[in-house]
Chain A
Amino acid sequence: MHKMLGRSPSPKREAISGKRHGLSTTLRTYLLRHAQVLVYSLGQLSRTPVSTFMTAAVIGIALALPTGLHVLLDNAQQLSGGWQGATQISLFLKSNTTDFQARKLVNRLRKLPEIKNVRYISRQQALKEFKTLSGFGDALKALKENPLPAVLVIQPSTEQQSAGIAEQLLDKLKRNPEVDVAQLDMQWIKRLYAIMEIVRHGVIILTALLALAVLLVVGNTIRLAIQNRRDEIVVIKLIGGTDAFIRRPFLYNGVWYGLIGGMIAVILITSALLIISGPVEHLTGLYKSQFELSYLGFGSILNLLMASTLLGLLGSWLAVGRHLREIEPT
C-alpha cells in the first residue's frame, strides 16, 4: 500500500513537468529572440556611430534642459527652506519711548517662551547704522532731531516659525504700549515662493514641450531608418515576417536612442552642476550658509533614464505604426 502510494504520483509529475518544459522552452526562445534583437539593433546603431551620437545628443540636450532646471529649483527650495528660520519680527518703538523703558521691554520679552532672541537697536545706534550704510549721513546732519525710532529685532523660537503662529505672536507684541509698528519680515519669502511656483509651472510646460520634441526626433529618425531599409522590409514581408517581427528592431532602436540620450543628459547635468558648484560655494561662503549644492540622486537618474527610454520607445512606436504599413511588396 505504502509502496503504491509512493510510486503512483511519479508518472503524473513527469507529464506535468514535460509540458512545463515545452512552455519554458517557448518562453526562453521568445526572450532570447528579444535579447538578440536588442543586441542586434545596438550593433546596427554602432555601425553609424556619428549619426547615432548626434541623434542621441539632441535627445540628451532636450532632456537635460528641463531636468537641469528641476535640479536647480530643488536646490533653490532647499536654500530658501533654510531661510525660513530667518523669519523675524521688527518692533518699531514709539519715538517718546525712553532708553530705560525700551530695555525693560526687552527684558520682559526675553522671558516669553515664544521668543528666542531679542536684539535692541537704540535710536543712536539706528542713526549710526543708517549713516554708515545709507550714505545719507550728511543729509541727516541737516535735521535737528534724530528721526529714527528704536527697533527691537525679535527672532521667534523654532516652533513659532510657521507663518500662522508667527502672525499670532505679531498680534501679541503689537499690544505692548511702547510699540508703534510691528512688522513680520516674511513678505519677501512669500514672494520668493510665489516666484518659484511660477518657475515650477514653467518648468513643467518646458518639460512637456521638450518631451514632445524628443518624441518627434526619435520618430523622425526611425522614419528615415525605415525608409533606408525599405528593400529589406519588403523581403522580410515576402518570406513571411509578421508586422511584429519587422517592428521589433525599430522599436529597440528607439529604446537605445532614448537610453543613450538619457545618459548624455545625466552627464550634461552633472558636469553643469560641477561647473557652477565652485561659484555657488563661494557665494554661500559669503553668506556663511551651510548650503550644499545637491546633484542628481540615484533615484532621479533612474527616473530620467526610464523616462527617456520610454520616450524613445513611444517615438519609434508612433513612427513604425505610421510608416511600416505603407511598405508592401509589389
Chain B
Amino acid sequence: MIRFSDVSKRYPGGQDALSNVSFHLQPGEMSFLTGHSGAGKSTLLKLITLIERSTRGQVIINGQNMSKLSRRRIPFHRRNIGIIFQDHQLLFDRTVFDNVALPLVIAGVPSNEIGRRVRASLDKVSLLHKEKSLPVTLSGGEQQRVGIARAVVNKPPLLLADEPTGNLDPALSWEIMQIFEQFSQVGVTVLVATHDLDLISRMSHRRLVLEQGRLIQGGDA
C-alpha cells in the first residue's frame, strides 16, 4: 500500500529531513510512526499526501509513483487518503453533518447518497446525535471523532493520522486508537504518527521509529 524506497528529502537551504528511508506497509496493516519532534514524521506524511515531493528515491502509494503524479492529479490522489489532523481542521462555520459530507461533495456523490453515508460514518464514531451541531459546541474528543468521520466517509483505502491524540486525555486517546484498529481490521491501511509511547506500548502493532531523518526501527533492510 505504501512503499518507500531509499527516500530522501532535503528542504531548500536546509539539511536532510529524511535520508534513505525504506519501508513497506501492507494493505490493512496498522502501524505507528514515532520519533522526537523534528525527526521527520511530518515530512514523511507530507510525502504521502504530496504536500511535498521527495528529493531522491521512490514513494509508491497504492501502486502509483508519487514523483510521476502531475499537479492536476494531486486532488484525486488525496481522495484515496483519509487524513486526521492533530487540530482537527474542521470548518467552524458549518455543522458536523456538512463537515463530514465535504469529501463526498468534493467527489461529486449524488446528494441522496450523501445523507446515508454521512450518517453511517457518524454512527461509527458514535456521534450520530450531533449531526446538526456546530463544531465549537463539541468537546475536543468529539471534534477529533468528527475529524475521523470525515476522513473515513469516503471509504479511503489509506488512513493517515498526525498526532491524533495530542490534545486528548489517556482514556479518550485509547478510544480513538480503538476506532483506528477497527478500520484496519476491515482492510484499511492505517499509519498513525504519534509520540505517545505509553499508548503505543499497549498495542501490538508495527512501529516505525525515526531519528534525525533516519528510520532506525521497523524499516526494511
Residues of A within 8 A of B (CB): 25, 29-30, 32-33, 231-232, 234-243, 245, 328-330
Contacts and interface: CB of A to CB of B under 8 A. Distances in A.
B199 interface: no
B108 A238 contact: no
Interface string B97-114: 000001101111011000
Interface of B: 49, 51, 75-79, 83, 89, 91, 102-103, 105-108, 110-111, 150-151
Given A328-B51, A330-B51, A240 B106 contact: yes
Contacts of A234: 89
A19 to B, nearest CB: 17
B110 A238 contact: no
A25 B106 contact: no
Contacts of A239: 78-79, 83, 102-103, 106, 150-151
Nearest to A329: B51
Given A232-B91, A328-B51, A330-B51, A240 B79 contact: yes
Contacts of A241: 75, 106
Contact of B108 (A30, A231, A235, A329): A30
Contacts of B77: 240
A236 B83 CA distance: 11
Given A32-B111, A240-B78, A235 B106 contact: no
Nearest to A29: B110
A29 B108 contact: yes
Given A235-B91, A236-B106, 4 more contacts: A29-B110, A231-B89, A239-B151, A240-B75
Contacts of A329: 49, 51
A238 B150 CA distance: 12
A232 B93 CA distance: 10
Contacts of B51: 238, 328-330
A238 B111 contact: no
A17 B78 CA distance: 34
Nearest to A245: B106
Nearest to A37: B105
A297 B111 CA distance: 41
Contacts of A245: 75, 106
Most buried by A among B49, B75, B103, B107: B75
Nearest to A44: B93
Contacts of A243: 75
Contacts of B105: 33
B91 A33 contact: no
8 contacts: A234-B89, A238-B78, A239-B106, A239-B151, A240-B107, A241-B75, A243-B75, A245-B75
B156 to A, nearest CB: 9
Contacts of B75: 237, 240-243, 245
B106 A33 contact: no
Contacts of B151: 239
A236 B102 contact: yes
Contacts of B150: 239
A240 B108 contact: no
A32 B110 CA distance: 9
Given A232-B91, A240-B103, A25 B83 contact: no
Contacts of A232: 91
A236 B105 CA distance: 11
Nearest to B82: A239
A25 B107 CA distance: 15
A235 B107 CA distance: 15
Most buried by B among A32, A234, A235, A243: A235
A235 B89 contact: yes
Contacts of A330: 51
Nearest to B102: A239
A299 B3 CA distance: 63
A232 B90 CA distance: 8
B106 A238 contact: no
A312 to B, nearest CB: 23
A150 to B, nearest CB: 87
Nearest to A232: B91
Contacts of A237: 75, 78
Contacts of B110: 25, 29
A30 B107 CA distance: 11
Nearest to B108: A29
Contacts of B91: 232, 235
A234 B108 CA distance: 19
Nearest to B111: A32
Nearest to A234: B89
Enumerate the 6 nearest inter-chain pairs by beta-carbon distance, A residue then B residue, closest first.
A240-B79, A240-B78, A242-B75, A240-B75, A241-B106, A235-B89
A329 B83 CA distance: 13
